[in-house]
Structure 1
Amino acid sequence: MSEMSRNPAQSWAAAGSPRPIVIIGGGSIVTDAHLPAYRMAGLPVAGVFDLDAERTRAVAAEWDITPYASLEEATATENAVFDLALPPVAHQGVIEQLPEGAPALLQKPMGRNLAEATAILQACRAKKLTAAVNFQLRFSPMMLAIHDLYKSGALGQLVDVELHANTMTPWHLWAFLKGMERVEILLHSIHYLDLMRHFLGDPAGIHAKTLGHPDTTVSQSRTAAILDYPAPVRAVLSVNHNHDFGPKFQDCYFRFEGTEGVSITTLGVNLDYPKGVPDELWFCARGGQWQQIPLSGTWFPHAFIGVMNNLQRFVTGEDETLVTNVEDAWKTMALVEAAYESSARPATPIKEKP
């Protein structure tokens, strides 16, 4: 096992002079991931604003930050990076009230459909924002490590990429999902589609089917998809959020198999959610033995450090690329839209016996 294989990169470089972060939105994702990640990394948070004034005060008190009384007060913070931890329907209205040229990080997804994603993109362009979307799975320790292995040549040419999830997800924790037309791909598997784009580039198309389950009230909770890449690449995902038969056969893993090596990682947060289990990362070179690579952190909350550091460093010129910029994120939204369109089309019928 090479030195690179033993010690692939698992974190994004810290910003040298980070700007103060102003968080718009105070929901559970903020207290469970954003704020713990920023405190862990020493990133300065100026304050928070939520439409619910009581929530604003509670979050601010718990994390010792400023509770803004209005969106106008929050957006008046000088030299700030704006963290929009909002539902997709709220993004455009807030973007239009940000200072021109401001840096901003938008919670995924980038709208509820491609039309909204396009409007958000145009709003960011009109405001000349330096804007990224929080596709933070790319920045998780496990995925940074696999991407480092891939770029180093340890995997060779990628020929097979698979996401498999067979879990029990407690959809009742998110009451706002009931009645939403789009759920599973838009809010969950979007991460996996975005990650496949990150490694493999844009596919020519997608074959997908997404549907619900008798035991859940959300519109979709199961998805199967095949992304269309040129041979010899096969890229697939199979997601079932309704395996309610105990933990024995639950799983959630990504497999990146190449001509020279293969890496498999467990996405632990999806198992026994929200408690989760530890992420795992394994690597095997062709002809070698499987080796476990110790991980320095988890998807939640450590990945949220990387995506914010990248934005902060891009603003100061320390990073040349804004990895999840809104122009790139729009392409992930286009892939999501194509998946829903594919699911809505009838399958190719099987010929009748003559």
Structure 2
Amino acid sequence: MGHDRPTALVPRHHVAIGGHGPEDVVADARGRVLTGVGDGRILRLDGLTDPATARVEVLAETGGRPLGLELLPDGDLLVCDAERGLLRVGLDDGVVRVLADSVAGERLRFCSNAVALSDGSVYFTVSSRRYPLEHWIGDVVEHTGTGRLLRLPPGGAPEVVLEGLQFANGLAPAADESFLVVAETSAYRLTRYWLTGPHAGRSEPFADALPGMPDNLWRDRRDGPIWVALAGPRVPPLDLLHRTPPAVRRAAARAAVRAPYRPTGTIGVLALDDEGRVVHHLGRRHSGYRMVTSVCETDGHLILGSIWERGVAVCEGPIAK
């Protein structure tokens, strides 16, 4: 993909939400934003465009660490919880139900993102089979390729449909649900997994050589592009390390897990169409808001989430091309 210089990602304000690490942000039909924070709470944020009127409401507590969220047509919420697996949360009553916590006898650790399709099936990612969430950097450094895409059929048991992914992360469907796009964070790429047609069950590159590490994906189901949060810029030493033998990468991963991590101030978001073409690329080099792990669009603004920060960032939306 071409590396056109990004247009400026213009921050309006930050909104503190009384919790740490709003890792994923999703907008509902009324423009409110849902997110999960480090202590297990699911929050709904309203009125974000004006910090004076912003409201934070606690909807549920998962008892784990919620990451990716997906609103269901019936108003419930799918939650990928890094500790508890794939959950369904009632937003009216706060009731949490476990939909899947293992696959083929292996406990689901580090469940990351989910999408629900119109046939009632749910697809979800597992970022790593080797490292838990708190040691995510170990997987990125070691480049284990143990990420997976799983399918939960209606009323059935989860099954693995794609493996060997480099830190499988965000998921988004094609507008016509003919394929899914899955982010491979530590490979700087988006991969297409075909659901229908002659290539069903096969995967191929959708957009590669991205300018940063793709994390959560989000799209407004009614229309609009696939939004991609870039959690960090490309790191040339890491690219070189990924070409070294496994033992070297394992040793580097052990060191990385022990070292204090500090994200850079370089942040970015992309929007792509269903052909994999970039329609928006916004970035900022010296941002006070770091490690953008998610982005959604509401009321003409971009809302950024981060596993690092204690709130969300509200930015100007893109100018239509």
TM-score relative to the length of structure 1: 0.27
Give the number of the structure whose residues are more often strand, by fraction. Answer: 2
Larger radius of gyration: 1
TM-score relative to the length of structure 2: 0.29
Give the number of the structure whose residues are more often helix, by fraction. Answer: 1
